[in-house]
Amino acid sequence: MRKKLLIALPLASVMMFSGCATMLGGGSQKIKFVSTEEMPATLYEIPADDNSTKKPEEIQKMTIPATITVSRGNHNFLLKSNNGEFEDVKIEKKWNPMGWGDFIPIGAINFMFTTTDAVSGAMWKYDDNIAVSPKNGGTI
């Protein structure tokens, strides 16, 4: 009996403190930026709340086309051209469908799943592919 408890308790703890989106999607995501031309750019993290006074935080410099990994969370991103070759691109967070698993009725512990996904950022996601069009009329 004691041996079963030693196995079941850690397993139950992991399940209780892991939300569906965290277990199935994780707290990070890859975003692919595509274009017909190579263009230097910088990705900034910006607040999801438009009324926020928080300044954009530089996340990564890159040359598009590129694939990068970003942290999911309650924030958006802004892609800016380093040389004015394309218009700014705002990348907004969206609800991660994996988060619906948090609402499967299994008693009074559901709020823990949702809280875990919120804290880890896994309840949000971003578009996987972002097309960046050059100002000079290039097409993708």
Count the helix, strand and coil residues of the chain and give each as a percent rounded to the nearest 5.
30, 35, 40
Q: Per residue of the chain (140 residues), what is the pLDDT tens digit?
A: 666 656 655 655 555 545 454 455 556 789 999 999 999 999 999 987 777 777 888 999 999 999 999 988 888 999 999 999 999 999 998 866 665 555 555 555 555 555 555 555 567 788 899 999 998 765 54
How far is residue 77's CA from residue 52's CA, in Å, rounded to a whole number? 14
**Cβ 127 vs Cβ 31: under 8 Å:** yes
Q: Identify whether 46 is part of a domain.
A: yes
The number of C-alpha atoms within 13 Å of 66 and in the hemisphere containing its C-beta is 15
73 SS3 class: coil
pTM above 0.85, yes or no: no
Number of separate domains in the chain: 1
Structure tokens of 132?
């960046």
Domain that residue 94 falls in = 2-131
Intra-chain end-to-end CA distance of the chain, in Å = 63
Q: Identify whether 139 is part of a domain.
A: no
Q: Identify whether 138 is part of a domain.
A: no
